[in-house]
C-alpha cells in the first residue's frame, strides 16, 4: 500500500468514527441518569475484574516501549500498576456519585410578552480527547464524558495502544450493561499520527477537542485544530506577599504553594514580596526553602538579603519550573505586583497574602487569571478542592471553560421557551 493510500484509509476510518460518534451523541443526550450510572459502575467493576488482562496488555506496551528505548519517566507514566488500576475504578465510582448536570433548567422566568424563558443544560455532543502515554486517561475521560451525556473519541499515545484497547473492552461491556450505544465511547485503534490530524479536521462530527499531555502536544493540537479546543498551557503561578500581610500566614502559604508538590501546574513558581516586609519574610522563608532543597533565583534585592539566592534572569520570571526551583522578586507595592503578574504570568492561578480588604478586593478584580486567591495556597486550584468533582483538565483559556473543568465544562446551555400559543406582535 502506498503512503497516500494509507493516509486516505486513516482519514476514511476516522470519518467513520466521527459519524458513529455523532449518531451515538444523539442517544446519549437523552440517556437517563440511571443508565449512565449503571454503565459507570459496570465499567468500574469490569476494570477491577480484568486486572490480569489489563496487566498483560500493559506488559506488552512496556516491553515494546523498552525496546524502542522510551525514557524511564515515560515508562513510569505508561505503567498500569495494581494501585493505578484500583484508582481508575475508584475514579469511575466517584464520577457515578456526582450529580447529573444534564437537563437542569436555570433562570426560568416570565417575560412581558407572556412567554417563559429559561436555560437548559445539555451535553456538548462529541468530545475528542487527544492524550499521550497515561492509559488511565482512557477510563477517566470516558467516565466524565459519559456522565455528562457526550459521545467520546479517545486517541491515546501509540505506545499505550494495548493497554488502551484492553480498557476500551471493559468500557464496551459497561455501556452494554447500561443499555447505552457502544459508539458512545470509541478508542482510535489506528496508531498512525495522521489519525490525530483527521480528528482535528472534523468540525462536523466533533464539537470540542481536549488535549491532555505535554506542551508540545497541546501547542500542536491548538495550532492544527479546526475544532474548538479546551486547553491548558503553562502554570506560572504567583504568590504576592503584601506589606499588610500577616507574616506567619504569608510564610506558611508561600512554603506550601512551592513545596507541597513540585510537578503540578498550580505550584507557585514566582514569589513576589512587597519591599517593606521583604527582609522579614525572606529571613523566615530562606532557611525553610534551603532545608527543603529548593533552589532560589532572586532579583538584586533578594540576593542582597539572601546570600544563598542566585541572580534571576528575565527568563526566570516566565518559566514554569515544575521542579524545586523558585524565583523571587521584591516589588515596591501591589501595583508593581499586578504589573509583574500581567507581564510574566500565564493566567493560571495567583494569590495575594494581605489583611487589607481594599487591596484584596483590588487583586481579586484586576488579576486576570483563571483562579485568583486571597490568603490561600495556589495548590488549592483543583476540581476536587473546588467541589467540582473529577476534572478533565484545567483550562487557561477564557472562553467557555476557565479554570478546573469538570462535568459542567463538558456541557452547554440552550435557551428554552414555553408559551401557550404565543406569537410576536
Per CB under 8 A, residues contacting a second copy are 26, 29-30, 103, 109, 111, 113, 115, 117, 120, 122, 124-125, 207-208, 228, 246, 248-249, 252-253, 255-257, 260, 342, 351, 353, 362, 364-366, 368-377, 379-381, 385-387, 397-400, 402-404, 412-424
- Cα–Cα distance between 378 and 261 in angstroms, integer? 11
* Closest separation in Å from C-beta 232 to a second copy: 14
382: CB partners within 8 A, 6+ apart? 266, 391, 394, 404
Nearer of residues 74 and 374 to a second copy, judged by Cβ: 374
CB nearer to a second copy: give 30 or 313. Answer: 30
**The three grid cell numbers given for residue 24, joined into one nine-digit string:** 451515538
Which one, 186 or 377, has the nearer CB to a second copy?
377
Q: How far apart are CA 110 and CA 336, in angstroms?
A: 48
Asked whether the beta carbons of 130 and 14 are under 8 A apart, the reply is no
Minimum Å gap between C-beta 226 and a second copy is 8
* Helix residue ranges, H only, 30-124: 33-49, 51-67, 72-78, 82-97
Write the CA distances from 172 to 121, 162, 179, 416, integer angstroms: 26, 15, 11, 34
The nearest distance, CB 424 to a second copy, in angstroms, is: 4
Inter-residue contact 228 to 125 (CB < 8 Å) = no
- Give the nearer residue to a second copy in terms of CB position, either 226 or 323: 226
Closer by beta carbon to a second copy, 116 or else 304: 116
Distance CA 375, CA 404 (A): 20
By DSSP bridging, strand 403-405 and strand 393-395 are antiparallel
For a second copy, which is the closer residue by CB, 283 or 418? 418
The nearest distance, CB 219 to a second copy, in angstroms, is: 12
Nearer to a second copy, 193 or 365 (CB): 365
For residues 352 and 377, give the distance between their C-alpha atoms in angstroms, rounded to a whole number: 9
52 vs 109, which CB is nearer to a second copy? 109
For residue 354, the minimal CB distance to a second copy (Å) is 11
State which H helix or E strand residue 120 sits in: strand 116-123
Closest distance of CB 342 from a second copy, Å = 7
Please identify, using beta-carbon distances, which residue of 114 and 311 lies nearer to a second copy. Answer: 114
Closer CB to a second copy, residue 49 or residue 416? Answer: 416
Residue 401 Cβ vs a second copy, minimum distance, rounded to whole Å: 8
What Rg, from alpha-carbon coordinates, does the chain have?
A: 24
Cβ atoms of 239 and 371 within 8 Å: the answer is: no
Residue 339 to residue 348: CA distance in whole angstroms: 15
- Shortest distance, CB of residue 109 to a second copy, whole angstroms? 7
Give the chain's length.
Answer: 425
Return d(Cα 243, Cα 190) in angstroms, integer.
Answer: 57
In whole angstroms, the minimum distance from the beta carbon of 294 to a second copy comes to: 16
Q: Write down the least CB distance from residue 167 to a second copy, Å.
A: 28
Q: Are 121 and 413 in contact (CB under 8 A)?
A: yes
Give the Cα separation of 209 and 221 in Å (integer).
8
Q: Grid coordinates representing 163?
A: 493497554
Helix (H, G, I), strand (E, B) or coil at 204: coil
Residue 104 C-alpha cell reads as: 437542569
Whole-number Å distance between alpha carbons of 411 and 4: 38
Amino acid at each position: 500500500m502506498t503512503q497516500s493510500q494509507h493516509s486516505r484509509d486513516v482519514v476514511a476510518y476516522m470519518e467513520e468514527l466521527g459519524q458513529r460518534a455523532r449518531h451515538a451523541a444523539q442517544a446519549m443526550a437523552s440517556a437517563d441518569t440511571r443508565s449512565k450510572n449503571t454503565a459507570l459502575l459496570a465499567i468500574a467493576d469490569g476494570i477491577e475484574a480484568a486486572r490480569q488482562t489489563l496487566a498483560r496488555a500493559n506488559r506488552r506496551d512496556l516491553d515494546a516501549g523498552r525496546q524502542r528505548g522510551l525514557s524511564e519517566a515515560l515508562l513510569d507514566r505508561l505503567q498500569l500498576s495494581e494501585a493505578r488500576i484500583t484508582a481508575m475504578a475508584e475514579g469511575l465510582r466517584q464520577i457515578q456519585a456526582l450529580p447529573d448536570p444534564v437537563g437542569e433548567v436555570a433562570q426560568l422566568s416570565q417575560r412581558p410578552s407572556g412567554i417563559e424563558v429559561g436555560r437548559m443544560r445539555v451535553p456538548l455532543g462529541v468530545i475528542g480527547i487527544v492524550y499521550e502515554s497515561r492509559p488511565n486517561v482512557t477510563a477517566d475521560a470516558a467516565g466524565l464524558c459519559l456522565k455528562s451525556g457526550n459521545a467520546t473519541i479517545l486517541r491515546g499515545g501509540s505506545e499505550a495502544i494495548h493497554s488502551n484497547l484492553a480498557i476500551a473492552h471493559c468500557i464496551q461491556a459497561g455501556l452494554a450493561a447500561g443499555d447505552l450505544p457502544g459508539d458512545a465511547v470509541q478508542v482510535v485503534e489506528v496508531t498512525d499520527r495522521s489519525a490525530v490530524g483527521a480528528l482535528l479536521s472534523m468540525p462536523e462530527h466533533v464539537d470540542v477537542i481536549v488535549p491532555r499531555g505535554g506542551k508540545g502536544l497541546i501547542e500542536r493540537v491548538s495550532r492544527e485544530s479546526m475544532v474548538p479546543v479546551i486547553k491548558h498551557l503553562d502554570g506560572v503561578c504567583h504568590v504576592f506577599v503584601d506589606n499588610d500581610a500577616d507574616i506567619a500566614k504569608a510564610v506558611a502559604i508561600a512554603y506550601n504553594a512551592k513545596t507541597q508538590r513540585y510537578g503540578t501546574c498550580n505550584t507557585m513558581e514566582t514569589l513576589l514580596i512587597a519591599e517593606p516586609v521583604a527582609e522579614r519574610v525572606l529571613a523566615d522563608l530562606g532557611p525553610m526553602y534551603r532545608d527543603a532543597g529548593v533552589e532560589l533565583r532572586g532579583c538584586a534585592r533578594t540576593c542582597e538579603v539572601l546570600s544563598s539566592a542566585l541572580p534571576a534572569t528575565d527568563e526566570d520570571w516566565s518559566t514554569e519550573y515544575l521542579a524545586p526551583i523558585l524565583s523571587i522578586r521584591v516589588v515596591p507595592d501591589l501595583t508593581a505586583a499586578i504589573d509583574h503578574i500581567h507581564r510574566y504570568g500565564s493566567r493560571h492561578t495567583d494569590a495575594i497574602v494581605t489583611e487589607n480588604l481594599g487591596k484584596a478586593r483590588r487583586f481579586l478584580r484586576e488579576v486576570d487569571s483563571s483562579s485568583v486567591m486571597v490568603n490561600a495556597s495556589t495548590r488549592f486550584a483543583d476540581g476536587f478542592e473546588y467541589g467540582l468533582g473529577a476534572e478533565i483538565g484545567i483550562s487557561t483559556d477564557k472562553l467557555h471553560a476557565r479554570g478546573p473543568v469538570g462535568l459542567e465544562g463538558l456541557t452547554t446551555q440552550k435557551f428554552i421557551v414555553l408559551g401557550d400559543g404565543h406569537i410576536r406582535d
